[in-house]
């Protein structure tokens, strides 16, 4: 197969591993910077121009689209789809996952466990907003935040109201979420490929830090998921429309709760922690579908 790997940096761990795995399986990978693609639309059919040539003859595409370039990145993925190229992650799934509010709404409709969440259009009644999320402590999240950025834990009512008022004053879109105390600053990343959990790790925030992101100094260890956690992760990925997804879960007293569904989950943490060849599994997923 001729495989396009959409990535802005060929030296990133995830990109390098996908290239290595594709070559190991006898395929021809090409790393393409999606921001340097020209999208051409005409009656004779869709095409993509890159550098000094047209992108032709591709069998599959693996999108690695950063959150800051979602609009143009998904447009490129959609163009590949219009050219009948199989995408490991569909353009609609990427868009749905990047809209945190819409994603939570869709997951809620399917009956998946979620922390109680409140979204408001800059309401002045911030006290009611905090109480609706279960009262302090609460977590406030910027809708555009990634990797733990734009996430604040407000430990008491006054702090929660002050932070929410500050965000409102900046016209920043935020959601207010129930704080799951029993999770103790840890979450679970379940890596889903083609409707199966192929790796899972428990991430623990560093001392004094409630965010468990590895980018923020958290640690990780391999974990065996319960059947409920597996099914929740699989259903969450399917609901959002992702063939490949990193589903973040909280372990609560009322069962697994979905925090987020990621359409471009990094490979370094999950491969290092589990010792599994996740990149190779992704290539096998392509082989199955192309």
Q: Domain boundaries in the chain?
A: 2-89, 98-112+182-263, 117-179
Exposed / middle / buried, residue 219 (Cβ in 10 Å: 0-12, 13-18, 19+)? middle
Are 74 and 64 in contact by the 8 Å Cβ rule? The answer is no
Handedness of CA 111, 261, 289, 25 (dihedral sign): negative
The CATH architecture one would assign to domain 98-112+182-263 is 2-Layer Sandwich (3.30)
Query: What does the DSSP assignment read for 228-254?
Result: HHHHHHHHHHHHHT-SEEEEEEEEETT
- Round to whole Å and give the CA distance between 204 and 220: 6
Instruction: Indicate whether 28 pLDDT > 70.
Output: yes
Q: Give residues with Cβ within 8 angstroms of 109, minimum separation 6.
A: none
50: phi then psi, degrees, rounded to nearest 5:
-135, 120
Q: Compare 206 and 189 and report the one with higher pLDDT.
A: 189
Percent over 90 (pLDDT), the chain: 68
CATH T-level fold of 2-89: Rossmann fold (3.40.50)
pLDDT tens digits, one per residue of 208-262: 555 555 555 577 899 999 999 999 999 999 999 999 999 999 999 999 999 999 9
Homologous superfamily in CATH for domain 117-179:
ATP-grasp fold, A domain (3.30.1490.20)
The three-class DSSP label of residue 74 is: helix
Examine domains 98-112+182-263 and 117-179 and report if their fold is the same: no
pLDDT, residue 209, reads: 56
């Amino acid at each position: 197969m001729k495989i396009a790997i959409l990535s802005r940096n060929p030296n990133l761990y995830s990109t390098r591993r996908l290239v290595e795995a594709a070559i190991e399986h006898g395929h021809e990978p090409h790393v393409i910077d999606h921001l340097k693609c020209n999208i051409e639309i005409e009656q004779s059919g869709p095409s993509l121009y890159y550098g000094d040539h047209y992108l032709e003859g591709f069998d599959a595409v693996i999108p690695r689209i950063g959150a800051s370039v979602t609009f143009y990145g998904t447009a490129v993925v959609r163009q590949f789809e219009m050219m009948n190229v199989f995408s490991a992650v569909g353009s609609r799934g990427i868009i749905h996952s990047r809209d945190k509010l819409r994603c939570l709404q869709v997951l809620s409709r399917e009956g998946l466990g979620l922390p109680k969440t409140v979204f408001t259009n800059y309401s002045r009644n911030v006290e009611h907003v905090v109480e609706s999320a279960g009262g302090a402590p609460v977590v406030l999240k910027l809708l555009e935040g990634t990797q733990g950025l734009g996430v604040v834990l407000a430990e008491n009512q006054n702090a929660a109201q002050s932070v929410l008022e500050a965000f409102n004053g900046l016209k920043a879109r935020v959601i207010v979420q129930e704080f799951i105390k029993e999770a103790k600053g840890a979450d679970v990343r379940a890596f889903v490929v083609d409707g199966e959990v192929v790796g899972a790790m428990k991430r623990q925030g560093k001392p004094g830090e409630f965010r468990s992101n590895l980018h923020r100094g958290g640690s990780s260890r391999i974990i065996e998921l319960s059947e409920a956690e597996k099914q929740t992760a699989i259903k969450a990925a399917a609901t959002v429309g992702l063939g490949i997804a990193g589903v973040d879960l909280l372990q609560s007293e009322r069962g697994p709760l979905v925090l987020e569904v990621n359409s471009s989950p990094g490979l370094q943490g999950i491969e290092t922690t589990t010792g599994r060849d996740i990149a190779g599994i992704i290539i096998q997923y392509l082989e199955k579908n192309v």
